[in-house]
Amino acid sequence: MKIPFFSIIVFYGDCELKDINYVPEGTFIVKPNRILEALNTIKDYNPPTPYKSKKTVVDILKQAVKNGANIDYHRRHVDNIRNMTGKYRILD
C-alpha cells in the first residue's frame, strides 16, 4: 500500500526564491499567502485516500520505518534519487 505524501515548503518574510530548477513531484514551494492554493491543488488533483481508519495508516507507517532500516531498500532509494535527478546520466 502507498500513502500519498506531499511537501509544502513555505518561504516567509523577505525570503526570495532563487534559481529553482528542480521541484520533485508532490512538492510545492510557496509564500504564506498561497498555502491554501497549494492545499486545494493537492485535493483537487488527487483521488481521496482509500484508507478507512487512522490505524491502517499508522500500521503502514510503522512498516515503513522498519523498511527504512533495510539496507537493500536504502540502496534502491538512493539509486532511484540519483536516477530521478539525472546524476547517472552526467558523464564528464
| Residue range 34-69, pLDDT digits in tens | 999 999 999 999 888 888 888 988 998 898 888 888
- Residue 15 cell numbers, joined: 525570503
Q: Which amino acid is at 44?
A: D
Q: CA torsion, points 27, 53, 57, 47, in degrees to nearest 10?
A: -30
Which residues is 8 bridged to in the sheet? 28
Averaged confidence pLDDT in the chain: 85
